[in-house]
Amino acid sequence: MIKTTDRLRTVLYALLWTLPLGYIFAETVQHTSFVTRDGITRKAILMLRDKPRGNIVLCHSAAFDKESMMPYAQKLFPGFNCLTFDFRRHGEEADRQYSTSGKKEILEIEAAVKLIKEHPKTKDLPVYGFGMSMGAAYLIEAESKEKRFDGLILQSCFETLRKQIKRTYGFFRLPFMHNLIFREPILTIAQRRHNLKLRKLYPMHSIAKVETPIMLIHAKNDDYISFEAFDKLRQNGKNVIQTWTPDDGKHTKILETYPDEYLAQCDQFFAKLKKA
97 with 62: CB under 8 angstroms? no
Closest alpha carbon to 247 in 217, 214, 216, 204: 217
Residue 13 domain-assigned (yes or no) = no
Helices and strands (H, E) in the chain, number of each type: 11, 8
173 secondary structure, DSSP code: G
Q: What is the sign of the dihedral through the CA atoms of 52, 57, 62 and 63?
A: positive
User: What is the DSSP track for 120-158?
Assistant: TTTTTS-EEEEEETHHHHHHHHHHHHS---SEEEEES--
Quote the distance between the C-alpha of residue 128 and its chain's center.
11
213 with 144, same domain: the answer is yes
What CA–CA distance (Å, rounded) separates 242 from 217? 9
Residue 10 domain-assigned (yes or no) = no
149 with 182, same domain: the answer is no
39 with 103, same domain: the answer is yes
Residue 208 domain-assigned (yes or no) = yes
Across residues 48-74, what is the average pLDDT? 96
Residue 9 domain-assigned (yes or no) = no
Residue 259 domain-assigned (yes or no) = yes
pTM of the model: 0.89
What CA–CA distance (Å, rounded) separates 53 from 169? 42
Confidence of residue 96 (pLDDT cuts 50, 70, 90): confident
82 with 118, same domain: the answer is yes
112 with 231, same domain: the answer is yes
60 with 100, same domain: the answer is yes
Domain count, the chain: 2
182 with 234, same domain: the answer is no
Residue 255 domain-assigned (yes or no) = yes
Confidence of residue 276 (pLDDT cuts 50, 70, 90): confident
93 with 182, same domain: the answer is no
CB-CB neighbours of 67 under 10 Å: 13
105 with 223, same domain: the answer is yes
53 with 182, same domain: the answer is no
Residue 7 domain-assigned (yes or no) = no
Residue 17 has pLDDT above 50, yes or no: no
Residue 4 domain-assigned (yes or no) = no
98 with 216, same domain: the answer is yes
255 with 219, same domain: the answer is yes
Confidence of residue 21 (pLDDT cuts 50, 70, 90): very low
Q: What is the CATH number of the domain that holds 70?
A: 3.40.50.1820
- Residue 11's pLDDT is 46
Residue 197 to residues 102, 140, 184, Cα–Cα distance (Å): 10, 19, 12
Domain boundary residue, one of 139, 174, 200: 200
Tens digit of pLDDT for each residue in 193-232? 999 999 999 999 999 999 999 999 999 999 999 999 999 9
What CA–CA distance (Å, rounded) separates 237 from 205? 8
Domain boundary residue, one of 200, 217, 248: 200
- Detail the DSSP E strand segments found in 184-239: 214-217
Residue 23 has pLDDT above 70, yes or no: no
109 with 57: CB under 8 angstroms? yes
Confidence of residue 26 (pLDDT cuts 50, 70, 90): low
Higher pLDDT pick, 3 / 266: 266
Range of the domain at 171: 161-200
Domain boundary residue, one of 200, 221, 249: 200
